[in-house]
Amino acid sequence: MSKIKNICCIGAGYVGGPTMAVIAAKCPDIKVTIVDLNAARIAAWNDENLDNLPVYEPGLDKIVAQARGRNLFFSTEVEKAIDEAEMIFISVNTPTKTYGVGKGMAADLKYIELCARQIASVAKTDKIVVEKSTLPVRTAEAIRSILDNTGNGVKFQILSNPEFLAEGTAVEDLLNPDRVLIGGETTEGGEKAMQALVEVYANWIPAERILTTNVWSSELSKLTANAFLAQRVSSINAMSELCEKTGADVNEVAKAIGMDSRIGPKFLKASVGFGGSCFQKDILNLVYIAKSYGLNEVADYWEQVIIMNDHQKRRFAANIVKTLYNTVSGKKIAFLGWAFKKDTNDTRESAAIYVADDLLNEQANVAVYDPKVEAGHMYADLDYLETRSAAENAKGLTVFNDPYEALQGAHAIAVLTEWDEFKGYDWQRIYDNMNKPAFVFDGRNLLDADKLREIGFFFNAIGK
C-alpha cells in the first residue's frame, strides 16, 4: 500500500479538530480535510480570528494557524472529501442512548452508521476507514458489514485508533502521547492498513510508542483506560467523605498513598466529581456490554463508580444548603467555573450543571462566571435536564463576564472548575463585597484555606 496522501475526517468536534490539526502540522505532505454538516462550526474553524475557534485548547490556535490553508482544510462538502481521501477517520459523537434497548447505558451508534452508509455510497476506490470515536467492542464488525454490503464493490479496511486525549492538555497529548493504539484485522490487507496509519504517526512519534493490536483489543482498551481513571477519581472521592467525618485531610491521604510506587499520584485529586464526554459514557457502555454477556457482577462493580460520582455532586450541593442554615431560597450562590475542567470550554457532564440544578430546585439565585463558557451554553445545559422550564432556568441562573460582579453580594461561593486564575483573585475585595457570613465551598481543593480563613471566610472544601 502506497503512502497516504489524502486524509478525510468526518466530525469537527473536540476530537476530530485537534487530532487532524496536529496530523496536518506534523505531516505537511498529507492533505487533511475535516468535514462536518454543521456549517456554523466549520465557519468557526475557518474564522480568521483564531480566538473564535469552536474548540478551546491551549496551543491549538497556533497549530491551526500553522497548517490551515496549506494542507489543513475545513469543509461542509462531506461527499467530495470522502471521494478524494485514501484514509477516512470517523470522529462523530457517540452519546449514551436515551431511548429503547440499552437506554441510559449503551452507546447510540446512529451517527456512526450514517457515516458508514455515506462512505459506502460515495467511495469508488479502496479506502481505509478509521474508528476515532469511542465505540463499544465489536463496532468495527458492524461498520464492515455496512461497508461490504451497501457499497460499490470497493475494498475497505477497518482500523480502530482510539483517542486518549485529556481536554485541557489535548495538544500536548497529541504532540507527545504516552502511546498510540492501532487495531486492525490480522490479514494481509489489515496489516498493510495498520502500517499505513503507523507511518502517518511515525512522522513525529517514536516507534516504541505506536502499538498495534487486533481491532477488538483496541476498542476495549479505550473503554478500560477511561474506566480505570474514573475509578481512581471515585475512590479518592469516597475517601474524601470519610475524611470529613474523621478529621483526616484527603489531600494528605492522597499524597501519602500516591507516594507508593504501586499506586502513583495521578488522578488522586479529590473533587466534586468527574465530568466530560468520556468517563461516564464509557463506563456505562462497559456496564451494558458486561450485562449483555450476563456478567452481572462485573457490571455492578463498574456501575458503582458512576453511583459514587453522582453521590459526590449531590452531597456537595446538599452541604451548601445545610451550611447556609438549611435554606438557600432567595440567596445568591456564586459559581466559579462551569466547564468540567480547566483549559477547556467543554461542559459535557460537568459537575457544575448538577450542583446548579440542585440549588435551583432549592430556589437559590445562581450567579456564574467561567473564563471560556458562553452563557447560551450554560442555559442549554440546564434546559437539557428538563427539570424546569427554560424561562425558570433563565430567571434562576445569571451569567457574568466579570468575576467580581458575579461574586458581589453573594452569600456563598462554590468553586466548580480548577481554573488557575481563581487562585490570583483579590479575595479581600471579594469578602468585603459579600453578604456576611461569607462562605466558600471549594469543590476542587484549589484555594488556600488558611488565607481565606484569615480574611474571614467560612471555608468548606471536599475532604476537609
Q: Could you list the active site residues? A: 278
CA distance linking residue 177 with residue 250, whole number of Å: 30
Q: Exposed, middle or buried: residue 461 (CB in 10 Å: 0-12, 13-18, 19+)? A: buried
Cell of 390: 427554560
Amino acid at 35: V
> Which residues, listed in sequence order, are joined to residue 10 by a DSSP beta bridge?
35, 90
138-162 core/surface letters (b: 16 or more CB in 10 A; e: else): ebbebbbebbeeebeeeebbbbbbb
Angle formed at CA 148 by CA 146 and CA 153, multiple of 5 degrees: 135
